[in-house]
């Protein structure tokens, strides 16, 4: 364990690394893991540390107790900072955007959201920013903002628009109706929904699959996906042409050369059916 990992507060956010997977839990179970400034600033610290931590190959974001997260803390994230100095309000917004999507969407390691229970409002931001998501069938999701008189702000509306088709997105934004894990899977908000008792094993299986891939190329794949979505077709083609060269050039394990040689020369594997053999 590095000094940086050992020095994490383990207070509002718990971190445990096992077999390459960092299990990161929002840790205010009594408040259903509502996101307060404590979580915001600690989560940024956690993401910094895990980025540099060699024993962490994949990050799983989840919640302590029976909630994933009840979204932003109405008292500590909204009411109290709104009554304080604007500079502090803006600093908190910035720090929250940093961990919930700016950093997480482009995080250099694969990320999986594990939705273990209540998931409301602001929690959709970091749920959507994770690469993949697994839910418990028993989890309850809701864009509850309409129920207390605000719009899904931060970046929730855009996150939901990117993840869901329009009819579903507008239905849940405008009604605030709740839905369960199976519906979340059906509408594409999560990859898989399974009974809660099977959820951790499903996440481990998925993490294992991701960790078998070339991490350098995996990072370029996800970052390229997000950037090219916002580009014109011509710009995307140019970007990807440059990135494929940069990725090959900088890849520490020179995966493309190995993969090609193992298929064409050694005939030891089939790329269509699995990954090349890494050292």
Residue 31 makes contact with ligand COA by CB under 6 A? yes
Q: How far apart are CA 93 and CA 1, in angstroms?
A: 32
Provide the minimum distance between the beta carbon of 34 and ligand COA in the complex, in angstroms, as a whole number. Answer: 4
Q: Which is nearer to ligand COA, 81 or 121 (CB)?
A: 121
**Region near ligand COA per CB under 6 A, out of 39-47, 51-59, 69-77, 180-188:** 69-77
- Residue of 5, 74, 95, 161 interacting with ligand COA (CB under 6 A): 74
- Residue of 14, 17, 21, 34 interacting with ligand COA (CB under 6 A): 34
Taken in order 223, 274, 50, 195, the sign of the CA dihedral is positive
Q: Which is nearer to ligand COA, 34 or 56 (CB)?
A: 34
**Virtual CA dihedral for 176, 180, 182, 184, nearest 10 degrees?**
40
Contacts with ligand COA, 102-121, as mask; x by CB under 6 A: ----------------x-xx
Q: How far apart are CA 55 and CA 28, in angstroms?
A: 26
Q: How far apart are CA 190 and CA 196, in angstroms?
A: 14
Q: How far apart are CA 169 and CA 37, in angstroms?
A: 28
Residue 161 makes contact with ligand COA by CB under 6 A? no
Residue 71 makes contact with ligand COA by CB under 6 A? yes
Q: What SS3 class is residue 52?
A: helix
Tokens 């931001």 belong to which residue? Answer: 125
Q: Which is nearer to ligand COA, 159 or 214 (CB)?
A: 159
DSSP letter (8 states) at residue 278: P
Q: How far apart are CA 14 and CA 74, in angstroms?
A: 22
- Residue of 42, 53, 73, 183 interacting with ligand COA (CB under 6 A): 73
Provide the minimum distance between the beta carbon of 30 and ligand COA in the complex, in angstroms, as a whole number. Answer: 6
Residue 70 makes contact with ligand COA by CB under 6 A? yes
SS3 content of the chain, % helix, strand, coil (to 5): 55, 15, 30
Residues that bind ligand COA (CB under 6 A): 31-32, 34, 70-75, 118, 120-122, 144-145, 148
């Amino acid at each position: 364990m590095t000094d940086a990992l050992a020095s994490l507060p383990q207070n509002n956010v718990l971190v445990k690394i096992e077999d390459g997977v960092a299990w990161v839990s929002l840790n205010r179970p009594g408040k259903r893991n509502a996101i307060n400034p404590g979580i915001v600033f600690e989560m940024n610290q956690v993401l910094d540390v895990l980025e540099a931590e060699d024993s962490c190959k994949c990050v799983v974001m989840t919640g302590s107790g029976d909630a994933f997260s009840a979204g932003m803390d109405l008292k500590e994230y909204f009411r109290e900072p709104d009554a304080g100095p604007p500079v502090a309000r803006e600093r908190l917004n910035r720090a929250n955007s940093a961990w919930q999507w700016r950093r997480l969407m482009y995080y250099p390691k694969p990320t999986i959201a594990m939705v273990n229970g209540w998931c409301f409002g602001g929690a959709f931001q970091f749920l959507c920013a994770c690469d993949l998501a697994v839910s418990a069938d028993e989890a309850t999701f809701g864009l509850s903002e309409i129920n207390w008189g605000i719009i899904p702000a931060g970046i929730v509306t855009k996150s939901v628009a990117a993840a869901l088709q329009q009819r579903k997105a507008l239905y849940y934004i405008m009604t605030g109706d709740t839905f369960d894990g199976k519906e979340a899977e059906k509408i594409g908000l999560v990859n898989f929904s399974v009974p809660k008792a099977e959820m951790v094993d499903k996440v481990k299986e998925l993490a294992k699959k991701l960790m078998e891939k070339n991490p350098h190329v995996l990072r370029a794949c996800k970052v390229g996906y997000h950037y090219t979505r916002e580009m014109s077709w011509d710009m995307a083609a140019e970007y990807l042409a440059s990135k494929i060269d940069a990725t090959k050039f900088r890849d520490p394990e020179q995966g493309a050369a190995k993969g090609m040689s193992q298929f064409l020369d050694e005939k030891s594997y089939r790329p269509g059916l699995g990954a090349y053999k890494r050292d």
